[in-house]
A and B are shown apart, each in its own frame.
Chain A
């Protein structure tokens, strides 16, 4: 046993026994009845067993208690006399109680320690799995555009004289396109660093819904100028607690996902509905919809790439798993489903207490 534990055990034992002695003395002086005294010492023994490590302190406490009761509180006072009637029974009883309590508490402590340990290991394993998935997805998604960039750049450098102007322009376009895609991915990854590692939470502030939506649309249009989006949000001013940069990222990811994977030229629709508890964002496209078997693993990080080999470098693997991470960190939910004409992503954000337009009379301020 470690010294600190031993010291702790001794301190606890002495503390409870002293307390019991003081209490018993008061009882004894007031009522002159030694029955309560035994009860008080039993209690002290139980407490000692409960609050110390191992069996020894409880048994020692029981032994000391019995000796002490005999010495102080039974006739002849201030002398030991173990020949009193029933004394061995009292002694045995106390020792058994102490041993049982010690066993039970030790057992209990051990069990809760094991439980905690197991829980920690589970979380650790889960984290490890997520990390591995993410890394796998990242390396896959990074390698594809990089291959395009390197290939295009090398063929330009090595065969410059053989290429027509048109082919050269094509190669540079490829480089530019793939580089944009890389940037998009890096921005996504960067956004995850805003989420607190330990608590998996984000710093939120009340943000007007319309500003986040409009800013996301603006950035989306900058990246994909030809794509159309129909946006519809509630008329009243809604303030939602969030990290606006991250929610903007989620919106952009989902909109781009809709554009790349719907296989349709129809405008994507973005609508937001609000009820008393949460705001729900719906991103709908009017295209192919999801493969039913892909729905379960959509947010896992590397689901989409198999079926879309023709369009492989637009794999949204990381994008969607990052969306889920971000929404989870906001205590919201995200899910995907098919509607009659295509695919729909929905995510929710819980509303704070103070979200509807506050009464501020701006003219008299």
Chain B
């Protein structure tokens, strides 16, 4: 890549900010840091970054508010950095428009993997792929065909919709809420049992051992994530 990618880091803790900055600089990103929400918003508006790393616990603003504000003018991927392990917060950040989350503390490799995934999704945003292929699993979105290790898999309509939704955004966590709305419509029941049951059916068709899935992973309390590459 001839031009450096720009990352904006909004984080109020100096040590963590420094650590992320040095990792990203090492990977030849251009980094801009902000320690408050207001500063972060103005930096995002002026720099047009390729990716935003946002800490939710900022002194001046609620993280959700920043996500909503940013989403009004750009689709730049946002990765939320959350210190707390509370799922509710992750879920609402994702539902507000964040692309992914990473829980403190995290390692370098995990951070870079998340960033790469988010960037990949933002690049192929519009021109959707016609194939998903990973391990022995192949999905042909045009022909609505799924095969596992060369053998065709039969899914019900709902199951197919779920799998293709997850596969088209492989690597990204899709929340229960998002999946419910996409498949069963905006007025679907709050209770996500039906989703869980369908996922269990899918798992039995795609995974050798449902206790150790290879393709679709559960993020407890948040949603599902499909394996990427």
Contact = CB atoms under 8 A, between A and B. Distances in A.
Interface of A: 183, 187, 190, 206-208, 210-215, 217-218, 231-233, 235, 237, 239, 244-245, 248, 270, 357-358, 360, 362-363, 365
B31 to A, nearest CB: 24
B213 A362 contact: no
A269 B184 CA distance: 39
A233 B194 contact: no
Given A211-B196, A214-B217, A231-B212, 18 more contacts: A208-B200, A210-B203, A210-B211, A212-B218, A214-B212, A214-B213, A215-B219, A215-B220, A218-B217, A233-B211, A237-B197, A245-B87, A248-B220, A358-B193, A358-B197, A362-B194, A362-B201, A363-B156
5 contacts: A211-B196, A215-B219, A231-B209, A245-B220, A358-B197
A206 B193 contact: yes
Nearest to B203: A210
A231 B201 contact: no
B42 interface: no
The residue in B194, B197, B201, B217 that gathers the most chain A C-beta atoms within 10 A of its C-beta is B197
Contact of A190 (B85, B196, B210, B212): B85
Q: Which 8 pairs between the two chains have the least Cβ-Cβ distance?
A: A211-B218, A363-B156, A231-B211, A210-B210, A237-B200, A362-B158, A213-B211, A244-B220
B135 interface: no
Contact of A212 (B159, B194, B203, B220): B220
B195 to A, nearest CB: 10
Contacts of B74: none
Interface in B156-174: 156-159
A245 B219 CA distance: 10
Interface of B: 85, 87, 105, 156-159, 184, 193-194, 196-201, 203-204, 209-213, 217-221
Contacts of A233: 210-211
A214 to B, nearest CB: 5
Given A237-B200, A357-B197, A362-B197, A217 B212 contact: yes
B30 to A, nearest CB: 28
Given A362-B159, A365-B184, A232 B198 contact: no
The residue in B85, B158, B196, B211 that gathers the most chain A C-beta atoms within 10 A of its C-beta is B211
Nearest to B103: A187
Nearest to A216: B220
A326 to B, nearest CB: 14
A204 to B, nearest CB: 12
A360 B200 CA distance: 12
A353 to B, nearest CB: 14
A208 B195 CA distance: 11
A365 B220 contact: no
Contacts of A232: 211
B43 to A, nearest CB: 31
A180 B199 CA distance: 33
A196 B200 CA distance: 31
A332 to B, nearest CB: 18
The residue in A211, A215, A245, A360 that gathers the most chain B C-beta atoms within 10 A of its C-beta is A211
A76 B72 CA distance: 96
Contacts of B219: 215
Contact of B197 (A212, A360, A363): A360
Given A210-B203, A244-B220, A362 B198 contact: yes
Nearest to A231: B211
Nearest to A191: B85
Contacts of A237: 197, 200
A208 B202 CA distance: 13
Contacts of B221: 244-245
Contacts of A215: 217-220
A80 B199 CA distance: 88
Nearest to B210: A210
A206 B201 CA distance: 17
A232 B200 CA distance: 16
Nearest to A243: B221
B160 to A, nearest CB: 10
Nearest to B216: A214
